[in-house]
Amino acid sequence: MLSVLRVHLPSDIPIVGCELTSYVLLQCPDTSITTDDVPESSPIYGFCLRYRWYRIQSDRKVAICSVHPFEQATLQCFGCVKAKIHVAKSYHCSPRGRAFGRFNTSGSGASNASLSSSTPSIGHNTSLSNGSTPSYPAAVTERSGGETWFEVGRLKTYTPTADDIGQVLKFECVSFVAEKKLHVGHANTILTSHVIPPPTPSPRRLVPVNGVDVIGNLDLDGHTFRNLYCGSHTIFSDVHASNDLYSYCPSWAYRRQNLLREIVGYRADILCLQEGSTQVGDAGSDDPLLKKFLVFKDAFWRFLRPHTIRGTALGSVALVSRALIENTDLIKWPLLFKALCGVFALICGNGYIVGINQIYDVGIDKVNKPYLPIAVGDLSVQSTWSLVLFVVVAGVSIVSFNFGPFITSLYCLGLFLGTIYSVPPFRMKKYLVAAFLIIAT
C-alpha cells in the first residue's frame, strides 16, 4: 500500500500571494521512499493521493500586528485610524511595536492599498488557481468554539489569497485506492499560523526632468525615450538568513521562488540586489561560463557538507599536533607536504561518504534538508555520481601512494562503513546502535 510517512510545509507563516508547496514523503508498496506527486489522475500500484486545503474560519476575528506580522495584535492605534491610514496598519502586538510602527509610518496621510478581495495588490493575483474549488464553498466540517472549515484548494500547492488573511490554513493528505475510492490509513494534516498580508509597496516617486512631454516620454534633441524604471531589493539570502540567527525565517528554497516571482513582476530596467548570494547576484552575468562555474562552485561546496569537513580537518590536525608536542623529536618539516596530502585524502573520503548519503536519501532530503544541491535541483544524480567517483579515486590514490598498506586498509575500511551506512540493502542508518558506531568510527 502507499503510505504517507510525513507531511511538511516550507513555511509556517503563509503570506498572501506566496505559493505554498507541500512536501509529502511516501513509502511505496515496494518499500522505496519517494516525494513524487501521485495525483488521482496518475496512480501508482493502484494507489493515489488526495490533497485538500482548508481555511479555518472563526467567528473570533484575529488581528495581526502590522510591524511583526507573525505576532497576534493586542492593541489598536486610533491615531492611525484618524489619520486615514489603512486599518490593517493600526494593529500592534505591543506598545513598543506601536512606537516603531508610528516612527516608520509616512506622515502624508495617504491611504495604503486595500487588501480586500476586490482590489489587487502585490502578492494578490486575482487569477490564482488553487484547484477546482469555488471561492466560498459549503462548509465541510463544523468545530466547537464557532469555527468552520472551508475547502479552498485541491492541489499539492496553494497560494493564499486576501480572503485568507487572519485565518489558519490546514493541509490534508490521504492515500486511497484509485478504483474503489477507499481511504487507506489515516489522513495526515498540518496546520499553519495565521495568514498575513504582503508588505505594502512604497509609491514610486519619479524625479522630474526637463523636456518631458504630457505622456511622460523624455525628448532630447528630437529623440524620444520611454520611462526608465530602477529598482532596489534586499534579498536576504540563505548566506545571511541562517536558521541559527533567524529561526523565524522560512527556508531558502521556499523564499527563492517567491522572491524571483516578485522581482520579475517589477519589470525594472535597472535592478540592484542587496544581501544576495551567488545564485541570485550572478543570475544576470553576461559570461555563461562564469555563471555556470559560480553556480557549480556553490553547489559543490554544499555537496561537501562544510560542517563535516571542519570536523574531519580539525580532528586530524588536533591529534597530530598533540602527538608532535609530546614527541618533539618526531617533527620533520619535509613531512609537512605528506601531512597535507593526508588531510586532503580525509576530505575526499568525507566527500564520498556524504555524497553517497545524499544520492540515496534525496527523497528524505527534499523534506528535511531542501537546501542540499541534489534535493533543490542544483546537481543531478548523474553529476553527483561523477563527483563521488572522482573524490574516492583521488582519496585512495593519495593514501596508497604516500602511506603504507596498513593505512590504506584503514582508509578503505572507513569508505566501506560509510557505504553500508546509506546504501541499500544494508542501510545501517536505520539501526540506532549500528549508525552510532559507524559515525563514531
Distance of CA 398 to the CA centre of its chain: 38
Q: How many CB atoms lie within 10 A of CB 358?
A: 24
> How far apart, in whole angstroms, are the C-alpha atoms of residue 40 and residue 181?
10
Cβ 20 vs Cβ 14: under 8 Å: yes
Instruction: Provide the pairing of β-strand 218-220 with 33-34.
Output: unpaired
C-alpha cell of 119? 482590489
Whether residue 81 lies inside any domain: the answer is yes
Give the tens place of pLDDT for each residue, 251-278: 666 677 778 778 877 778 788 887 776 5
pLDDT for res 336: 81
Q: What angle do CA 298, 299, 302 make, to 5 degrees?
A: 90
Continuous segment of H or E residues that includes residue 341: helix 336-360
C-alpha cell of 375? 534535493
Q: Are 270 and 300 within one domain? A: no
Whether residue 42 lies inside any domain: the answer is yes
C-alpha cell of 374? 541534489
425 preceded by a cis bond (ω within 30 of 0): yes
Low-confidence residues in the chain, pLDDT < 70: 58-62, 66-72, 86, 88, 95-147, 199-227, 238-248, 251-254, 277-288, 291
Q: Are 270 and 302 within one domain? A: no
Of 55, 39, 58, whose CA–CA distance to 47 is shortest? 39
Q: Which domain holds residue 337?
A: 288-440
Q: What is the tally of structural domains in the chain?
A: 3
pLDDT for res 68: 67
- Collapsing DSSP to helix, strand or coil, 309 comes out as helix
Whether residue 57 lies inside any domain: the answer is yes
Whether residue 130 lies inside any domain: the answer is no
> How far apart, in whole angstroms, are the C-alpha atoms of residue 216 and residue 227?
7
Q: Are 191 and 230 within one domain? A: no
Last residue of a domain, one of 276, 302, 317: 276
Whether residue 128 lies inside any domain: the answer is no
Q: Are 433 and 400 within one domain? A: yes
Cβ 316 vs Cβ 387: under 8 Å: no
Q: Are 155 and 38 within one domain? A: yes
Cβ 298 vs Cβ 278: under 8 Å: yes
Q: Are 259 and 321 within one domain? A: no
Q: Are 381 and 308 within one domain? A: yes
pLDDT for res 107: 35
Of 259, 297, 263, 261, whose CA–CA distance to 278 is shortest? 297
Q: Are 173 and 231 within one domain? A: no
Whether residue 333 lies inside any domain: the answer is yes
Cell 493600526 belongs to residue: 90
C-alpha cell of 177? 485506492
pLDDT for res 385: 93
pLDDT for res 286: 52
Q: Are 315 and 167 within one domain? A: no
Q: Are 267 and 313 within one domain? A: no
pLDDT for res 139: 45
**Where residue 43 sits, what CATH number does that domain have?**
2.60.40.2700
- Collapsing DSSP to helix, strand or coil, 307 comes out as helix
Q: Are 231 and 181 within one domain? A: no
Whether residue 122 lies inside any domain: the answer is no
> How far apart, in whole angstroms, are the C-alpha atoms of residue 394 and residue 234?
41
Backbone torsions φ then ψ of 271, nearest 5 degrees = -125, 130
pLDDT for res 108: 33
Q: Specify the pTM.
A: 0.45
Q: Are 379 and 306 within one domain? A: yes
pLDDT for res 363: 81
Whether residue 131 lies inside any domain: the answer is no
